[in-house]
Amino acid sequence: MDFKNKLTNWYSDNKRSLPWRNTKNPYYIWLSEIILQQTQVKQGLPYYEDFIKQYPTVFDLANASEEEVLKLWQGLGYYSRARNLHTTAKHVAFELDGRFPNNYKDLLKLKGVGDYTASAVASIAFNEVAAVVDGNVYRVLSRYYGIITPINSTDGIKEFKKLASNLIDKEQPATFNQAIMEFGATQCKPKNPNCTICPLNESCMALQKNMIEFLPVKLKKTKVKTRFFNFLVCIDNNKNTLLEKRTSKGIWQNLYQFPLIESNKSLSSEEFHLLNIKDSVLDNLNFDYSLYNIEDIVHKLSHQHLYTKFWIIETKELPKKSIAIKEIKKYPVPVLISSFIDAFNFNDL
DNA sequence: AAGTCGGGGCT
DNA sequence: AGCCCAGACTT
C-alpha cells in the first residue's frame, strides 16, 4: 500500500470528531480555517462554537460591528485575523450576495486568505484538487521523505507545495488534505511521536536515520524586543474608569486598554511621579496613586516581552470620556488587560 | 527575504 | 525563566 492509502486508512480510523467536519458549507469551513491559523484545535474549538452560535450565517457576521467581532475573538491572538474575517464577511455578504468564491484562485483574493486557507476551503468545501501545506504537512513530509530544506525558506515553501501537490489524492482531495493534517497533529507530533504504532514507520526516512527530532528544519529565530508598559488604572468616586482604543499599527490594533505610558525602563514610584500624567491624561485633576504590582508582570508575545506595571490612580471625578467600571467587560481587550481585570477586585474600592 | 503579529503549553 | 508551535501580511 502506498503513502496515500495508508494515510487515508489511518484517518478513517483515527480522525477526531469536530464540528466543521460535519458540513460542506463554505462559510463554516472558512471560519474554522481562519480560527485554526496558528492555533491548535483545543484552543480554537470554543471560539468556533461561539462564532457559529452568534453568527450562524455570513450575513450575521457581516452585520456585526468590528468591536463585537473583536470581543468574541478576545484571547485568541493575532487580531488581524478577526479584522480581516469581518472585512471578508462584509465583502461576501454585500458584494457577492452571500456566495463564497468556489475555487482556489478566487478564494486567494479574499483578505486574510493565503495559500493554505484557499487550498483548504477549495478542497474541503468544493472538492478541488488543491494541496494544503500547513505546519503539520511540513512536518509529515519532511520526516517521511527526509527533506532537510528549511520549511520557511523560499525554496522550501516551493518544494513542499510541489511535493504535496504530487501526492494529493485526485479522487478525494478533501479527505487526503484533512488526513495528512490530522496525522501530523495527533500521530506525527512535534515532540516524542510514538513511531512504534505509526502506519508509515516501515518507510519513514527520518525514522530509519534517527532524524525524527531534527525534522523539520526551520531557519533562525526572531529576536525579542523588550518594552516597558505603565497602565494607568483610573478610578473615581463614581466608579468610573478610563479606557483608550489602540488605533495605531502594531500589536493589539483596535483593542482597548487602560491609558498607557511606555517608558524605556521599569519605573520606580519616584520616577513615575515625575511623569506629567496630570496634564496629559487627567485633565489637570488631583489624584493619589499606588502601584498594584511590585514586580513587573511579564507578558510574552512571540517577538516582544512586555514588562508591565499597573498604577492605580484614584481621583474625585474623571473627565467626561470615562466609562462605568461595570461596563468594562464589554470592551475587547488583550489578555494582559483581561487578566488584570479578573485579578483586580474593583469592588473593594 | 526579513520582519510583524498573540497566546498557550511544555520543561 | 527559556523554548516551541503555527499562516498572512507588510516592508
| Closest nt by CA–C1' to A114 | C8
The protein footprint on chain B, as nucleotides within 7 A of a CB, is 1-11
- The domain limits of chain A are 3-214, 225-348
Write b or e for each residue in A140-150: b if 16 or more Cβ atoms lie within 10 A of its Cβ, otherwise e: bbbbbbebeeb
Contacts 24+ apart (CB under 8 A), A12-20: A14/A182, A14/A186, A14/A187, A15/A178, A15/A179, A15/A182, A16/A41, A16/A182, A16/A186, A18/A45, A19/A45, A19/A48, A19/A49, A19/A52, A20/A48
Model confidence at A321, pLDDT cuts 50, 70, 90, reads confident
Q: What percent of chain A has pLDDT over 90?
A: 89
pLDDT of residue A347: 65
Interatomic separation, CA of residue A112 and C1' of nucleotide C10, rounded (Å): 13
pLDDT of residue A348: 62
Whether the pLDDT of residue A30 is over 90: the answer is yes
Whether the pLDDT of residue A283 is over 80: the answer is no
- Identify protein residues whose C-beta is within 7 angstroms of any atom in strand C: A 36-40, 78, 80, 84, 110-118, 134-136, 138-139, 184, 190-191, 218, 221, 249, 298, 300, 302
Contacts 24+ apart (CB under 8 A), A87-91: A87/A111, A87/A112, A88/A30, A88/A112, A88/A113, A89/A55, A89/A58, A89/A61, A89/A62, A90/A62
Report the interhelical angle of A66-73 vs A41-54 (nearest 10°): 150
Q: Is the dihedral of CA A311, A312, A317, A322 positive or negative?
A: positive
Active site residue A270: no
pLDDT of residue A257: 97
| Closest nt by CA–C1' to A84 | C8
∠A293-A299-A302 over CA atoms, to 5°?
170
Q: What does the mean pLDDT of chain A come to?
A: 94
Three-class secondary structure of residue A174 per DSSP? helix
Interatomic separation, CA of residue A227 and C1' of nucleotide C11, rounded (Å): 22
Residue nearest to nucleotide B4 (CA to C1'): A250
| Average pLDDT rounded to a whole number, residues A80-88 | 97
The protein footprint on chain C, as nucleotides within 7 A of a CB, is 1, 3-9, 11
- Please measure the distance between the N-terminal and C-terminal CA atoms of chain A and give it in whole angstroms: 70
Which fold does the domain A225-348 belong to in CATH?
A: Nucleoside Triphosphate Pyrophosphohydrolase (3.90.79)
Give me the helices (H) in A169-307, please.
173-186, 205-208, 269-274, 277-280
Q: What percent of chain A has pLDDT over 70?
A: 99
The residue whose grid cell reads 532537510 is A148
C-alpha cell at A219: 531557519
Whether the pLDDT of residue A222 is over 90: the answer is no
| Average pLDDT rounded to a whole number, residues A185-211 | 95
Tell the CATH superfamily of the A3-214 domain: Hypothetical protein; domain 2 (1.10.340.30)
Interatomic separation, CA of residue A140 and C1' of nucleotide C6, rounded (Å): 15
Whether the pLDDT of residue A33 is over 80: the answer is yes
| Closest nt by CA–C1' to A306 | B6
C-alpha cell at A307: 514588562
